Amino acid sequence: MNLVPLPCRLLACLLPALLFSAPVLAGGLAPGYRNLPFAAPEPGSYELPVLGTAADGVVLDSDGRPLRLHALYDGRIVLLGFIYSTCDDVNGCPLATVVFQKLRNALKSEQEPAGRLRLLTLSFDPEHDTPEAMRRYGEGFRDGGVDWHFLTTRSEAELQPILEAYGQSVQKEYDAAGRSTGKYSHLLRVFLIDGQKRIRNVYTVSVLHPDLALADVKTLLQEVPAPVPGGGRAASPPLRAGDDKTGYASPAYETHALALDARRGRPADLFQRAQRPVLGLPKLPVPADDPLTPAKIALGRKLFYDRRLSLNQTFSCAMCHIPEQGFTSQEQATATGIEGRTVRRNAPTLYNVAYLTKLFHDGRESSLENQVWGPLLAANEMGNPSVGFVLDRIESLPDYRGLFEQAFGRGPGMETVGQALACYERVLVSGDSPFDRWRYGHESGALSEAARKGFELFTGKAGCAACHTVGDRHALFTDDALHNTGVGYRASMDKTPAARRVQVAPGVSFEVDAKTFAQVAGPVPGDLGRYEITQNPADRWKYRTPTLRNVALTAPYMHNGVFASLREVVEFYNRGGEPNENLDPLIRPLGLSAQEVDALVEFLSSLTGGDNQTLVSDAFAAPVGNGR
């Protein structure tokens, strides 16, 4: 961590705090216990410098589950404090806990900063501070609106690299006989970390105060992307749900999309990650004839991001299932294949696809091993003319030499290609959302009051849980069945408009009459849903119930991407769907008020997994296999 000098504006704000620290040096209580003798700086009236990158490391939560610090950062603003639970220096570890508690209490009525802030208390005494000890230590501090985690590590060996990375000096104290006293000599330090995992302030005993920390948190919340040379703004953080296209129709729109060479990531141990229980999810189902192995997962990952596996070597699986966009595509209502060929349905998310027994929107496949061949051979997706064509292509590529033999003991074939891709998709597991931490982790502060009200509606008045099921120990948020909501019926019954408004560039649109439009666009293909598979008239316009996990990341919605926002989806169901002769009997007008719609949307937004950025970062590290 490289520390840089504070800018003059920030120094001016902190100078009063430095001046009123004199009582600490004289042996009194630290400033954090008392009211500020001056007004805290106005949030946004100053800048916080970037002091370095916040390091990662493996920690244990209070249930003993291993987590990475970066997973806990999760795009939030974080206050990280190092303590040990038996510290008796009132101006030491207890001060950090008191300040965190005061900050939490101050934010009970402020939903915006409370929902974006996470408090982490990490012990540097793993021998005494076991997960159970940290759970007991934190029991009295879990009733606020701020997410607060009490952490430890397995051993001093795992702790030491974290302490060194953060410059946290800690030394055990020994008596005259050389026996440990159980006490530590250390300098109290609390780190403020922004949503891009950058350290923005370091508080010591002299300046650690809830009012000052709150002003800093609110200042970070007000930040906008910094200007970059040549105009425009800096690219959005790479580990985000997707590229925000709000305002795209405006002539002043500036893209924040990441260029390919700006996508930097770090490979993850996906095999080990898949072995760990995930809060809110059942045990990962793995078929007996396709067990997970590191070699198979790595090979499947390579295939998934390889553009050379399409007919013209330009298109990969990941170009419809974009990692930072929820492993779907937020850019298009329906997918687009090679050469811009139209696909009639929306690209579904691959998060937690391992748990599904029906695949594709119409449920026509039952195993991932078979499903992966559909896009590879579809003329409007990856365009390959045959299985043999794909296998010949793989065998011709020198960088695949020996990989199939290492993973399967034999070369590439229809079965082994399917199994490798399935193994990678199977480990795209995402749970430990704020909802999971509230319902299954029993963290009362993990979910906002509005989201809790939304869950009450979800399982009650709105009836959403009838299809998007929630269990006592885990929740997949899908019944894995097929239903007619009326969306498909409405699309089939829509008449061709006399003219269409076509946007050709940001802020530039034209009205195009139907005749001219037909000359450049193919006819809109029909879509009867499950009926196309079963030929049973009762199955017309039935589609698979999607999981709602990570739903805030996976717009647009429905099988045809007809709704751009969660609010539109909720309002559609509130109206009772679209009436038709096969409408599912579970679909009915809900009578929700505007406030209840807001609460449902808030709840749905709480279903975003807590460790998604690990998968996204791993994806960014994968080679894309450009054809030559």
Q: Note the pLDDT tens digit of each residue in 294-351.
A: 999 999 999 999 999 999 999 999 999 999 889 998 878 899 999 989 899 999 999 9
Please check if 186 is assigned to a binding site: yes
Neighbouring-strand partners of residue 79 = 119, 192
| Nearest in space to 154 (alpha carbons), one of 81, 68, 82, 66 | 66
Low-confidence ranges of the chain (pLDDT < 50): 1-26, 225-243, 628
Residue 90 in 3-state DSSP? coil
Please check if 467 is assigned to a binding site: no
Q: Phi and psi of 606, rounded to 5°?
A: -90, 5
Sheet of strand 147-151, all strands in order from the earlier edge strand to the far edge: 52-53, 198-203, 190-193, 77-83, 117-123, 147-151
- Per the listing, tokens 């399935």 go with 422
In what helix (H) or strand (E) does residue 374 lie, and over which residues does it extend? helix 373-377
User: Rounded to a whole number, what is the largest CA-CA distance in the chain?
Assistant: 95
- Per the listing, tokens 């027994």 go with 357
Please check if 87 is assigned to a binding site: yes
What pLDDT, on the 0 to 100 scale, is given for residue 398?
95
Residue 273 in 3-state DSSP? helix
Q: Do 290 and 422 touch, CB atoms closer than 8 A?
A: yes
Residue 26 in 3-state DSSP? coil
What pLDDT, on the 0 to 100 scale, is given for residue 29?
87
| Nearest in space to 270 (alpha carbons), one of 622, 598, 583 | 622
Query: Residue 333 burial (CB < 10 Å; 0-12/13-18/19+)?
Result: middle
* Contacts of residue 581, Cβ cutoff 8 Å, sequence gap at least 6: none
For residue 177, give the DSSP letter: T
Residues 87, 162: Cα–Cα separation, whole Å: 20
Q: Do 313 and 307 touch, CB atoms closer than 8 A?
A: yes
Residues 422, 445: Cα–Cα separation, whole Å: 37
